[in-house]
Structure 1
Amino acid sequence: MNNRIKVIYFVISLSTLTLMACSGSSDVPVSEFRHAEGGSHASHISADNTIAVVSSIDNGITVWNLVTNEQRYVWRHQDDGSNSVTNIHIAFDNSYVVTADREAFALWNLELGEPEGFWRIDEASIRDIAVSNQGRGILVGRGNGKVMFFEPKTGRRLEFLGHQEKINSVDISPNGFYALTGGNDYLAYLWDTRTGQVIHKFDHPSRVTKVSLDDQGRYAFTADSKRDARVWDLITGKEVSNLQYSARQRIFTTAVFSDNGKYLLTGSPSRRINRWDVKTGAELNEWRVSAREGSKPASAVVHDVGFIGDSEIVSESSNGLLEKWKIEN
């Protein structure tokens, strides 16, 4: 693929935390690259940390090669120059990307840089979205409590009706067979997208705000709006650990498991990135991303994170920066 920028237009049709058990914390990245001059609405980093897709405030949706740090494409949902995309997900195999605003979602072919479909959701707002390998299945969490699993190539559609209130977060397994969803009904479900059958139900004492699946199929992460942020065994459905922190409340915006399954990396709306021990829930490290320019008080939302081997991590935040950080053991 060459590195030319493609611009595609669509007409719509369808303070520092005190660490008690951490081995290190840092506010200074190893390196940083500007991906959005005016900041970003959302971003996602591919599982292998070679691609980032950023919904910029000023320049549509930009796709970046993280190996060369070159911009590959610029995409737009609408032809009026505005951009309100707040959800992005890259398939595990780097084949497709889904992007969504509150009313519509699009499927993009990453090899060609071209769109393969655009769909409007009229019934309820889109809250979160995910896509499986080869773009086979798209998972759409909505404000009416329904989750839609949709196969673009066959047209097959399944609605999961297990939730009773608004959906906040969804994730999908790489093969597209399993979905993890969480909502305001204090519940997270692991369910089969082929049948709609519930495999495990994860109870919380408050609304579930973030869910994430381990791409290797070992664990699930579910977090609520107050004190519980739990790792679950996907085979047994039993709790592995509950993240240990002293704050009365912590909100998570992203969560990624390491390839070896030993660690969990999380981001938050308060600039924090944290590394945790999966088995014990102990906090091991903390980093704080750069604040968004002009924000008062100084703030930034961590959109996504990833492990680079055993020695570094990478982050994309609302400050418009890709930042890399060293892991201090």
Structure 2
Amino acid sequence: MNKPNIIVSFMLLSLLSACSGTVSKPEKTLRLAVEGAYMADISADRSLAVISTSQEGILVWDMKTEQQRYKWSHEEEGEANSNTVGLVHIAADNSHVVTADREAFALWDLSNGEPVGFWRIDEASVRDIAVSNGGRGILVGRGNGKVMFFEPQTGRRLEFLGHQEKINSVDLSPNGYYALTGSNDYIAYLWDTRSGQVIHRFTHTSRVTKVALDDEGRFAFTADSKRGARIWDLQTGEEISQLSYIQRQKIFSSATFSDDGQYLITGSPGRALNLWSVQTGSEVQEWRVSPKVGTQPQSAIIYAASFIQDNQIMTVSSSGLAEYWKY
């Protein structure tokens, strides 16, 4: 009498096992940097990748033609080998890129590859950075807990003083009106860059290490240094889901929402690329990107991950590779 139930249970277990396996072989690989990378970003429309390299300066790649478009440096001509740029962010409209080392940041025009401006920070170190459409606003998180919103065209500067300890991660809405910032003070704030007023406060039980905004204005992602990784409704400030994983500690190096709002893709410093359901927080799939050559133990940091056409995900990691994964 019980035989059919046993068969059905076995079939379900087999299907679940098949779906949850880890994939380590990409559909396609493109080398963007010979000696590896410090940081990278992928544009919102997936047409560009900007990668800060250890030996070649900052490289801008056209991912459609798979050709290098520009080569930049914070240093003087001929000193690209001393590149220390560890932060890169592309505006959602592909108009500008902001790059930063610990002491300064630069804004670049993607239409011609020329620099718009270069600014030094007068106090504390640059911890994270973001830029809005048209290069109109730049968000700078610093080691002293302050966040600066700066408008290059007008010179307007607003200091957000809500955090009590150093900033670890920042993000900016495409229109530049809303900032999401996370700190060692266990808090992530969503705030208005026009007034400095707090809109939502997202509290964690340990230091907030990663934040990310959905470009469509629907969701926020905040993660702490232990087991708290949450997706929030930006309209209400209420929690939608908490990511479900068995590790005692999981650090996120990248996070991107899908255009349809169904999924979140995250990268980690330990090669892991994970696809999550926004509504339930459950893991859908895991991949392992290629390790950086010569690292022991073999590892790679996923700097950027993005959904592209035909159910594919593109990653750029410290190995200097762009890799394509099917889901």
Of Structure 1 and Structure 2, the greater helix share is in 2
Unaligned runs of 5+ in 1: 1-18
SS of the residue 2:122 aligns to? coil
Alpha carbons of structure 1 residues 286 and 313: separation in structure 2 relative to 1, 3 Å:
same
Structure 1 counterpart of 2:212, one-letter code: S
What are the within-5 Å matches in structure 2 for residues 225-236 of structure 1? 225-236=225-236
Q: Does 1:307 align with 2:318?
A: no
**In 2, Cα distance between the equivalents of 1:295 and 1:23?**
27
Q: Describe the superposition over 1:114-171 as per-residue Cα deviations: whole angstroms up to 9, x where unpaired.
A: 0000000020100000000000100000000000000000000000000000000000
Count, aligned residues: 309
Structure 2 counterpart of 1:170, one-letter code: V
**In 2, Cα distance between the equivalents of 1:69 and 1:298?**
27
What are the within-5 Å matches in structure 2 for residues 1-329 of structure 1? 22-79=19-76, 80-81=79-80, 82-309=82-309, 311-327=311-327
**In 2, Cα distance between the equivalents of 1:309 and 1:171?**
25
Q: Identity across aligned pairs (percent)?
A: 65
Larger Rg: 2
Q: Describe the superposition over 1:269-306 as per-residue Cα deviations: whole angstroms up to 9, x where unpaired.
A: 00000000000000000010000000000010000000
1:25 offset after TM fit, Å?
2.6
SS of the residue 1:119 aligns to? strand
SS of the residue 1:134 aligns to? helix
1:23 offset after TM fit, Å?
3.9
SS of the residue 1:42 aligns to? strand
Structure 1 counterpart of 2:210, one-letter code: K
1:11 paired residue number? none
**In 2, Cα distance between the equivalents of 1:157 and 1:106?**
16
TM-score w.r.t. structure 1 length? Answer: 0.93
Alpha carbons of structure 1 residues 20 and 228: separation in structure 2 relative to 1, 3 Å:
farther
Structure 1 counterpart of 2:23, one-letter code: S
Structure 1 counterpart of 2:132, one-letter code: S
SS of the residue 2:191 aligns to? strand
1:52 offset after TM fit, Å?
0.2
SS of the residue 2:134 aligns to? helix
**In 2, Cα distance between the equivalents of 1:194 and 1:216?**
19
Q: Describe the superposition over 1:229-253 as per-residue Cα deviations: whole angstroms up to 9, x where unpaired.
A: 0000000000000000001000000
**In 1, Cα distance between the equivalents of 2:310 and 2:32?**
25
1:22 offset after TM fit, Å?
4.8
Are 1:54 and 1:61, in contact at CA under 8 Å, matched by a contact in 2? Answer: yes
TM-score w.r.t. structure 2 length? Answer: 0.93
Are 1:101 and 1:126, in contact at CA under 8 Å, matched by a contact in 2? Answer: yes
Structure 1 stretches of 4+ with a deviation exceeding 2 A read: 19-25
1:20 offset after TM fit, Å?
7.0
Unaligned runs of 5+ in 2: 1-15
